[in-house]
Amino acid sequence: MKPEIHPQYVEATITCACGHVMRTRSTRPSLRVGICSKCHPFFTGQQKFVDTAGRVERFQRRFAAKAAADAAAPKKKKKARK
């Protein structure tokens, strides 16, 4: 390895948006993250839905309209091929 070309590997503090603080080593002295293992739904078992601009409701309305249209439409019989 060449001397003096590698970054310094220092003790680092990782801070989550929930307030949890972890200590590790990194080339940066401090890091801020939005989600960690203490607040992530996969690890906590709690499910959080972040619905931006009503996307879930809009999908459900669209799906319900298509299902209703399919149910109301008469079903066509296919001709048997010989």
Reported pTM: 0.47
> Considering the domain boundaries, does residue 64 fall inside one?
no
What is the residue-level pLDDT of the chain in tens, covering all 82 positions? 788 899 999 999 999 988 999 999 999 999 999 888 888 777 677 765 666 677 778 888 888 887 777 777 766 666 767 6
> Considering the domain boundaries, does residue 53 fall inside one?
no
Structural domain boundaries, residue 34: 1-47
For residues 50-82, b (16+ Cβ closer than 10 Å) or e, as one string?
eeeeeeeeeeeeeeeeeeeeeeeeeeeeeeeee
Residue 56: predicted pLDDT = 77
Total domain count for the chain? 1
> Considering the domain boundaries, does residue 80 fall inside one?
no
Residue 68: predicted pLDDT = 77
Residue 54: predicted pLDDT = 76
> Considering the domain boundaries, does residue 4 fall inside one?
yes
